Structure 1
Amino acid sequence: MDHRQDTISATAPTLPSSTGSTSGGLLVGCAAGFSGDRTDAARPVVDTLIRLGGPAVLIFETLAERTLALAQLARQRDPEAGYEPLLDEMLRPVLADCLAHRIPIVGNFGAANPPAAARRVAAIAAELGLRPPVVAVVAGDALVSPAQRALLSAALAQEGPPLPEGAIASANVYLGAEGIADALRQGADVVVTGRVADPSLTVGPALAHFGWAPDDWDRLAGATMAGHLLECGAQVCGGYYADPGFKEVPDLSRVGFPIARIDADGACTIFKADGTGGCLDVHTVKEQLLYELHDPAAYLTPDVIADISAATVTPVGPDAVRLAGVRGHPRPASLKANVFYANGWLAEGEISYAGPGAEARARLAGEVLRARLDTRDRQGPLRIDLIGVMSVLGDDAGDALRRRAAGDASDVRLRVAANHPDRAGADRLTREVTALYTCGPAGGGGVRTNLRPRLGLRSCLFPREQAPATVTLSSVGSEGGWGRNGAWGSRRDPPCPVEGPRLADRPAFAEAASIAAPLTPLVPPPPTRQIQLRAAAHGRTGDKGDRSNISVIAWHPALYPLLVEQLTEEAVARQFASRRPTRVTRYLMPRLGAINFVLDGVLDGGVNDALNLDSHGKALSFVVLAMPLTVPEPLLPWLRGPGMDHNETMETHR
């Protein structure tokens, strides 16, 4: 189905002379985008917040779906574990300055054990000789009471078969922003949460600062999308973006982390920390804006349903972009719940073959393992990868590898993987891979095996009123509450870090606007070139369960109509034939010059079930970007990539 929002041309909008009010804004800096992120990211972010002055918050987003389940298992082994293991390294470099400058810290680094994380924060402050911080714990996400488990069982029964007794490792709902806002209003210096929606880490401080009503949907939606841009850390600043020859990112080894200036109307300006590498422009912002979104008009969160179908993304200065025009709709009546459960064992084994005949020997080793391993020992297929020939782009069933003709690759690593209901069957796989040293083809070496318990995931809806957020503070804030009526000492309202001239005054953008207008058909039609889509567009892959979303964003507005015409749902489905998508849905966003494709059933069950090395499907955007695109020659100047100015690199059709 084709979801067309409107037919407005994807020209760049006109930028007002000021990017927003110079008073009353809120700065939100992000210092982590996942558990295990760089621990030196916070320092330049905090330094920038201090330099700019005014109300500011530092957030840490460290909690992915599976991270929480693993944290719950850690807590079962040790009652004082189960929170972010890098908490000390993240907070120690900046805690003193955040306390001194009244920059509250908000993080979901509490994971499965927010109270223990709160105790650790207090201990860090004591070890550093700092005043005792007011630490708030936002809880209520864990579904542990008998009444909650009964409701959960009923909800899961509507979605599929019941789970075995005692199989649940963790069950959590995604809480919203209200608990965070309440903690800040009560004077918390540090707010520790478990499972909250990622954007809520930003929406909570905005609620507290601006005093918005909980049903001020447009403003909440604007702050939600600001949080969405921040939540993956460096991704919006050029991290996870570079593609040499097409997308250059300066000083990537020092890529910066983002800061958003949120205005009272919910619009935001996003920029990166001072003195850091990377780049932040409309292209990096659009990729992150569409990351893990499905329907752009209905991004569901616990706080609001955000609609970016009419949003605008505008450059306002070096490494600074303004997002405006986000609309909001009433929040969902229910909360999303994730339930992780024990789901057997994953076994993996690898061995390398090199030199003449390496690929043939690796294929033979795979056949030996398939013959030796009993199908009754495992759940699902035995996955066989030939790294260097076919691996990440293959499927668990092996159809793509079987269809690929045998070649003469001279450096191949065989990988096999399978899920098993018990450890004994998993052990047999690792032993058989090791036995290839003496019982397999010639020249195999470098065996590595891995064995670990596997967690399955089921999701359902849970009644909101049955999972209220609770807030517990270590003490009452001595300086009063933070936010609209709170004390700020000598801190002043933050200036917008950058301002730029009206966009129409910039020659490059004025020219772009005129080119994006409908072209008068030429008779005869101009010559065309067939290129790889990668030269005309860029994009990123996101995943939720067994569903992948892939954005395709035109490098220039004039190229967008070609994408709409040629990148149909049917064409994308053909491109992913080996993945057997059950459905492909296309969403058009002409204001952003973008298309969002949602592909169901292409991840072999998703990150918690798939055997793929890339179980998130991160590489799938390049499957789309490899598609052919026919481009009229007058539009060739807007293409990117090596050889785009050399005719011999592209086929010409007349």
Structure 2
Amino acid sequence: MSKGNYQARWERQRGTRPVRVANCSGYKADPGYHMRRQAELGDVDFITGDYLAGIEQTVDLLAEKRIKVIINGGAHNPKGLAEKTQELGLSLKVAYVAGDNLLPIMKDIKKDGLPPHLDSDNSEVRVAKNTLALLEGESRPVISANAYLGAREIVKGLELGADIIIAGRVADASPVIGAAWYWHSWSDTDYDRLAGALIAGHSIECSAYVTGSNFAGFYEYPLDQLYDLVFGIAEIESDGTCVITKHKNTKGMVTADVVKCQFLYELQGNIYLNSDVKGILDDVKIEEVGRDRVRVCGIRGAPPPPTTKLAIFYRGGYQSEILVNATGYATTEKWDLYERMMRFGLKRRGILDKIGIPQANPQSQLQSTTYMRIFAEASDPSINIGLAQTMSEFAMQHFSGFHNSMDQRCALPRPYLSYYPALYPQASLQTSLHLLHPDSAPSKHPTTPPPHLAPLGTRASYDADPASTRPLSSFGPTRAARLGDVVLARSGDKSGNANIGFFVPSRYLSPTHASSDPTTAPSPVSAPEPAAPSLAWAWLRAFLTRAALVDLLGADWDPAYHVERVEFAGIGAVHFVVYGILGRGVSGSARLDGLGKGLADYLRDKVVEVPVELLDGGGGVGRERAGL
């Protein structure tokens, strides 16, 4: 199809069908070829990502197929990136977003004052004692300060005809919200629609996490299907509901359980915050509607909060370490998958020891963690570099519970940046969209904050209502089993806090759960007969109270922490936020698993009393059932 025909079709179809938004990166190490893959393997309207890798090898195809690109540039130089992109030519209009960089007004925090901490409005939370370390001495200067912007500037750029928009720091889902907002001509008060797009963006923002990577039930699928994955696509309807999918005839899988894992990743509770909208998640539903097609609906919206997140990084000192870790459940299969992936990547470039045995029913996450040592020795340093490049290439294609130690710091002391998450008033931001022109200076288009703002209020936290919950004694005889034999989960970080979402696998909720094309779809090693549809969910919500989570955390629990709990009945999930468990968070955390990614698999490895009817009736989801 010619460039003109693509353009005409794009304009003709805008707003008349779901918009197809693809993700090409969620982390700095994602290879640039993923942008090219998303453009050439099928039709998409927008490609979004966390950085601009791949633009040079894809720009010709973008111009030919009239695919628009929206990039979250993080703390990079969006103006410089935009200017370099314009030099690639091909008559594409390039724009950049400004206003997120607050370093000039945050540089002297001691003199001007420290903004409120992200959790300052939660009276139950005590932040880590070293949270205010950036105020100590003269050796902790602020290096960067970037506010998380919404989608308003992106929409402005699309309305002005931009083909490529490079933002500074926007929220991870904002590029997807902006694409859907523009495509469907929504208003900035269409909160239910905007909230639906928010969760669509959340679903695909993490590279291959929604196409099979970091999936708690990975061991039920052929391991060779779980690397060299394509990234996700969201098809967003005019009402904000979406279908999560991927290009056909590619590796990996998009199933209800995979999407549930990603939905539960890095949540703050039952309300998801963005600069443009609050997403109210209580009634979410996630269901398969075809092979590699999963529908997400039930999201409601509300006016956004008056503040946005401000990420402040400062020089924290020196650290040393290097490890690659796997936690708890299905550890043997995890290392098998990782070794296969590494061998695949190394062989393709033309160019490993396992240490540790996880303890049964571990009492701390450390006891549930094993390490891999990857060693290279060669006279030619390019061979060693090839090993490092292979690890980076597959950095976001890994088993669930995978985490690096201290961000792969080496054995020699190296300086590191620490993190202070703050709140900043949206009304104080000075944001704008800048459209580049071939023969003149960029035109500046100021933007304004959302028209309506509403405080968050007290976050919901509750155990199951006793009036609607069966007592544990009513589930009959029990047998000791690992929690992961009947429950899947996902965990992650929110600054110094960890979120953990446990959910009932789809086979327990729907007796007819199956792929629409079982002859070609990747399928579990063996499929069990489903248990009674409500039994697993009734047991999970009765068992997993806040007190039960504290017991499961064992030696990892500290009374200084605070736990919040909510339920998502539509997907059979119980969700927790554990405040303070990650210390300062990110690079400033002293925990081995500073991003909380292994917590869920560690807790799935704990031995608990499970109803016999549930174990025998559903066949479990563990390795024993899969014959592994």
**The two structures share one fold, judged by TM-score above 0.5:** yes
Q: CA deviation at 1:311?
A: 1.4
Q: Does 1:632 align with 2:611?
A: yes
**2:496 aligned partner:** 546
- Measure, in 2, the Cα distance between the counterparts of 1:519 and 1:547: 28
Q: Does 1:25 align with 2:5?
A: no
- Measure, in 2, the Cα distance between the counterparts of 1:410 and 1:57: 39
Q: CA deviation at 1:185?
A: 0.9
Q: CA deviation at 1:98?
A: 1.2
Unaligned ranges ≥5, structure 2: 1-13, 121-131, 324-353, 375-408, 440-467, 510-533
**2:238 aligned partner:** 264
Change (3 A) 1:527 1:346: closer
Q: CA deviation at 1:248?
A: 5.3
Change (3 A) 1:250 1:324: farther
Match of 2:624, SS state, is coil
* 1:70-149 superposed matches below 5 A: 87=53, 90-109=54-73, 111-123=75-87, 125-126=88-89, 131-146=90-105
Match of 1:474, SS state, is strand
Change (3 A) 1:248 1:300: farther
**1:457 aligned partner:** 419
Match of 1:205, SS state, is helix
- Measure, in 1, the Cα distance between the counterparts of 2:495 and 2:268: 12
Match of 2:201, SS state, is helix
Q: For 1:204, which of 155, 165, 178 is the aligned residue?
A: 178
Q: CA deviation at 1:141?
A: 0.1
Change (3 A) 1:529 1:22: farther
Q: CA deviation at 1:164?
A: 5.5
Q: CA deviation at 1:529?
A: 2.6
Q: CA deviation at 1:92?
A: 2.6
**1:563 aligned partner:** 540
Q: CA deviation at 1:323?
A: 0.8
Q: CA deviation at 1:534?
A: 0.8
Amino acid at match of 2:586: V
Match of 1:253, SS state, is coil
1:527-561 deviation digits (Å, cap 9, x = unpaired): 43322111111111110122111111112233111
Question: Does the 8 Å CA contact 1:33/1:233 hold for their aligned counterparts?
Answer: yes
- Measure, in 2, the Cα distance between the counterparts of 1:184 and 1:611: 43
Q: Does 1:281 align with 2:255?
A: yes
Q: Does 1:307 align with 2:280?
A: yes
Q: Does 1:58 align with 2:22?
A: no
1:86-135 deviation digits (Å, cap 9, x = unpaired): x2xx1233211111221111111363211111122123x24xxxx23211
Match of 1:224, SS state, is helix
Change (3 A) 1:181 1:560: same
1:378-434 deviation digits (Å, cap 9, x = unpaired): xxxxxxxx963799x999xxx988xx8xxxx99999xxxxxxxxxxxxxxxxxxxxx
1:468-503 deviation digits (Å, cap 9, x = unpaired): 3211111289xxxxxxxxxxxxxxxxxxxxxxxxxx
Change (3 A) 1:643 1:216: same
Match of 1:552, SS state, is strand
Question: Does the 8 Å CA contact 1:156/1:459 hold for their aligned counterparts?
Answer: no
Aligned-residue sequence identity (percent) comes to 29
TM-score normalised by structure 2 residue count: 0.68
- Measure, in 2, the Cα distance between the counterparts of 1:644 and 1:110: 43
- Measure, in 1, the Cα distance between the counterparts of 2:187 and 2:418: 38
Amino acid at match of 2:555: S
Change (3 A) 1:545 1:523: closer
Question: Does the 8 Å CA contact 2:211/2:252 hold for their aligned counterparts?
Answer: yes
Question: Does the 8 Å CA contact 1:28/1:57 hold for their aligned counterparts?
Answer: yes
- Measure, in 2, the Cα distance between the counterparts of 1:117 and 1:231: 21
Question: Does the 8 Å CA contact 1:110/1:118 hold for their aligned counterparts?
Answer: no
Q: CA deviation at 1:48?
A: 4.3
Amino acid at match of 1:209: W
Unaligned ranges ≥5, structure 1: 1-20, 63-83, 351-385, 414-446, 478-517, 650-654
TM-score normalised by structure 1 residue count: 0.66
Question: Does the 8 Å CA contact 1:349/1:450 hold for their aligned counterparts?
Answer: no
Change (3 A) 1:520 1:572: closer
Q: CA deviation at 1:156?
A: 2.6
Match of 2:265, SS state, is coil
Q: CA deviation at 1:584?
A: 2.2
Question: Does the 8 Å CA contact 2:100/2:431 hold for their aligned counterparts?
Answer: yes
Question: Does the 8 Å CA contact 2:18/2:238 hold for their aligned counterparts?
Answer: yes
* 1:504-515 superposed matches below 5 A: none
**1:422 aligned partner:** none
**1:603 aligned partner:** 582
Q: CA deviation at 1:206?
A: 1.5
- Measure, in 2, the Cα distance between the counterparts of 1:458 and 1:299: 20
Amino acid at match of 2:548: A
Q: Does 1:184 align with 2:152?
A: no
- Measure, in 2, the Cα distance between the counterparts of 1:118 and 1:448: 34
**1:388 aligned partner:** 356
- Measure, in 2, the Cα distance between the counterparts of 1:293 and 1:182: 28
Amino acid at match of 2:479: R
Q: Does 1:473 align with 2:435?
A: yes
- Measure, in 2, the Cα distance between the counterparts of 1:143 and 1:278: 40
1:15-45 deviation digits (Å, cap 9, x = unpaired): xxxxxx9933211011111111133222332
Q: CA deviation at 1:231?
A: 0.5
**1:576 aligned partner:** 553
- Measure, in 1, the Cα distance between the counterparts of 2:488 and 2:263: 13
- Measure, in 2, the Cα distance between the counterparts of 1:457 and 1:290: 23
Match of 2:113, SS state, is helix
Q: CA deviation at 1:520?
A: 11
Question: Does the 8 Å CA contact 2:115/2:422 hold for their aligned counterparts?
Answer: yes
1:164-198 deviation digits (Å, cap 9, x = unpaired): 66711011110110001111111111101110001
- Measure, in 1, the Cα distance between the counterparts of 2:15 and 2:154: 26
Match of 2:588, SS state, is coil
1:323-367 deviation digits (Å, cap 9, x = unpaired): 1110001101112111111111113489xxxxxxxxxxxxxxxxx
- Measure, in 2, the Cα distance between the counterparts of 1:149 and 1:464: 21
Change (3 A) 1:246 1:349: closer
Amino acid at match of 2:76: A
